[in-house]
Amino acid sequence: MSPIRNRELNSNWSWKQRELIVESVLDEIGADGWRAAQVYPSEIHVELLKSGLISDPYLGFNENKVQWIGKVEWLYKCSFDYTAEGDETHALLEFLGLDTLCDVYLNGHKILAAENQFQTHVVPWSCLPSNHRTPFFCTSSPPIISPRSSKPRWEESALDPQTLAILAGSMSERRSMTGDGTGCAIFISYQKIRLMDAFQGPELMTCGPYRPITLKTYSVRIQEAQMHALLSDENVPSLKVDVTLNQALDASLRIILSDANTKTVLKSEDVPVAASSITSVVSWDLNGIVKPWWPVGYGTQYLYTVSVILSVAGQTIDEITTRVGFRRVALVQEPLEEPDQYGTGTTFLFEVNGVRMFTGGSNWVPADNFLTTISPERYHAWLTLLRDGNQNMVRIWGGGIYEPDVFYDICDELGILVWQDFQFACGVYPAHDTFVASVRKEAEDNVKRLRHHPSIALFCGNNEDYQMVLQWSDVPSLPAVKLYEEVFPEVVASLTGPQPIPYHRGSPYGGKGWDTADPTIGDVHQWNIWGGKELPYHDYVKLGGRYVSEFGIPSHPEMKTIEYWMDGAGAEQRHAQSALMAQHCRAGTFERRFAILMNDNLRVTEDLETYVFNTRLMASEAVGYAYQMWRRKWGGPGKQYVRLSILPNPQRHLTKYSYRQGGVLVWQLNDCWPVTSWAIADYFLRPKPVYFTIARQLATFSVGVLRTVIKNRPNDRPAQFYEYGNFQSYGATLEIWGTNASLTSRAVTLELHCVDLNSTWTHTETHAVTLHPNQATELLAIPCPGPSRDNFTSPTGDAEFTTTYAVVVGARLLDAESGAVLARFSDWPQPLRFVEPVLLRDPKLTVSVDDTSGKVTVSAERPVKGLWLSAVGDGPDVKWSDNALDVMPGDPQVVVAQGLGGRGVGVAFLGKEKAHKL
């Protein structure tokens, strides 16, 4: 019997624009105009760009010049040879990704009408001849105007105008929301509108065979092999393997378990099989033989390979290998007995291998509008950036795609947990039988493909669809609850085995009556700072929930990225409100929203570089503050009561701690093109200040400071925790806490160093404290130190009031034995716009570089806010181990710069926002 043959059709592709005057698409086969494809898999924009037929749509205004591409039809074709070998009796064509609505022809016969980008399309091909042949493969599309509806989707909807502007497309079409306009696949797809407000992508509806196409020929094959890599409640690993063949025959199976070094760990004897479906080919107790897989920061990512070998008469006919990790994961939603500021409700947290973990991370959108350009190396760079930023979870947003296998393989290797949305976002999707059947297959295809990855921690039904109904519009019902509450949970439960992967109906989801904003149940998306009610970012402290799975503040990328998209534009475009800057920022009403946050916190400027610096500093401050406040609520197991010994203050109350907040995921990690967005690193993987701020907040050890102003009357300014501009206050109090993500207690020294910007006054004090394991620990609550009144002149001329309005408080955690710095944080009086330039006088900043080690040491004699380090001159990007630093006197900081290559170091900071070399 002949072994199975797998042949990827990765050559002899060509493409052309469809000629509408040609009546039959098959008549285009021999027509002129075909061009050889330059990449495979392929997308039409990439082909046009490589052929020099269009300008780069990511530069300048070029995006507007290529909209015609989505308004015409496109064709792809491929020829290949086939010669039968041995006793091959079956063949199939497997399409891993067709974007999206297209017809597939083989030798003049239509073999597939594809209409779901997210399915794996498998087409049996029977009656194979034994002689050499050259089949022809061509694709085409249905008409550009969809026959499914007699009027546009937006006319059928009762959605509000803002939502309609986002969703002017048919929700029946199963393709990514990362394109806009008409489009094509190997054939063609037609109009589908992208979530512009959320995704920040350009209007580039592309198409093509964006994932591999394979020809499989065989007599018998392994149709499916499911590896159940299990871990008991006592963390004892075991393995069970189920196998399905395409037909019953007299054969044998052998299972081999190998470690990461390909060394055989365990091997079965040949197991005779006579049926097409074999349950428990092996069922192994692996106690003491293999080790559990752990998320990053909690242990090692042990991975193993399971090989299933099918043999007939001693000859190997087929083999499937799958890499697995032994772990168990749970989504814990248990009642809280004691209320906090939100009430009681339930927890929402992840437990892996019996350990409850605060999951901090990012949302993920496709890393390029053209999916075929994202190489495995680029995926690895993005996910390594996330891991190196002390993040342990990534959420794959429901408006993008199910990522390719390499994405999840890398997450397995790096120990990154994956929250996987089904690809439904911000829409009122239908639930008629045909649509549900298509989506069920989509779900089955992807759950089967992903279920073996130890990194998969959650399948989630949708992004913001429940929220669309209850909070954003007057739509009376959500038909797709059939998907979210019946189809998806059934698929996940039935296909993920005896230890099912957790399922969550939607994000956000929780509360009574679909109240997706309920902070006591489920997860929330917190957009009331940037959008929504446009509140001050200091309100993040009271705007959390049991789990915040989306929130964020946009900022500009660095000037190097802006210069890229400027593409040589003149001075008239080099200001924050230019048309070209707007071309590369798609956030709804972004100028107004930026203005509110910027005017609240920083000084107004018309200089572009200063403005760019300020947006980056603002996002860093706001998002860092949110992470700090919300991680503080990870208080450890049980009920713990911490009474804060602070000055009497009616605004404060008894603080109760337990697992009140299970995690935070910022929107978003990455961009799909060069743009101003919420991304914490831009399209070129250049981290923004906010990336480093999050990394410090999610480090194994961190320290937090909350300053609360004691006001002289209840209605004296909003509660934004600042004294500047509110000099008639009675001082301030400080609350200091530390976080410890390790599973053991740590004895540390808490050091406070206070500096008055208005004088030479300083103050230092230390406290011996213990950080409890896997939780935040309250350390200190004291009046904010400040200059004595004897040497203090109040700006208001009234000596009765505060002396602390210009005091910067630096906190450090030092290892009790070695004195090494474990964490640091500095709290500046807010808002920063009230910090007068005279108070930011020359900080006597020094920067020294060791060219051999790449170590950059910075120190200052006065406090420095938001120090941004950059390379001076042209050259490759530098990888900084840390950046966006707050520097305190007497506390030099060392940063490693990879790739500096002898160049000097430029600096920018609050008060000196334009990069310069000292």
Q: Catalytic residue numbers?
A: 464
CA atoms within 13 A on the CB side of 445: 23
For residue 279, the one-letter residue type is: T
Region for 514 from its dihedrals, namely left if φ exceeds 0, alpha if ψ lies in -120 to 50, beta otherwise? left
**Residue 595 DSSP SS3:** helix
Residue 272 CA to its chain's centroid (Å): 46
Contact criterion met (CB below 8 Å) for 101 and 114: yes
Exposure of 143 by Cβ count < 10 A (0-12 exposed, 13-18 middle, 19+ buried)?
Answer: exposed
58: its two tokens: 């990511």
Region for 484 from its dihedrals, namely left if φ exceeds 0, alpha if ψ lies in -120 to 50, beta otherwise? alpha
Complete DSSP assignment for 181-217: S-B-SSS-B------HHHH---S----B--S-EEEEE
CA distance 320 to 218: 14
SS3 of the chain: helix, strand, coil, percent, to 5: 20, 30, 50
Across the beta sheet with 775-783, what order do the strands follow?
701-711, 729-740, 775-783
CA distance 313 to 251: 7
Other Cβ atoms less than 10 A from the Cβ of 733: the count is 19
Buried b (16+ CB within 10 A) or exposed e, 339-373: ebebeebebbbbbbbeebbbbbbbbbbbbbbbbbe
Residue for token digits 């990870």? Answer: 634
Across the beta sheet with 213-218, what order do the strands follow?
5-8, 213-218, 90-95, 121-124
439: its two tokens: 């989506």
Q: What are phi and psi of 609, to 5 degrees?
A: -65, -40
93: its two tokens: 């064509």
Eight-state DSSP code of residue 402: P
CA distance 201 to 605: 28
Residues 6+ away with beta carbon under 8 Å from 337: 344, 639
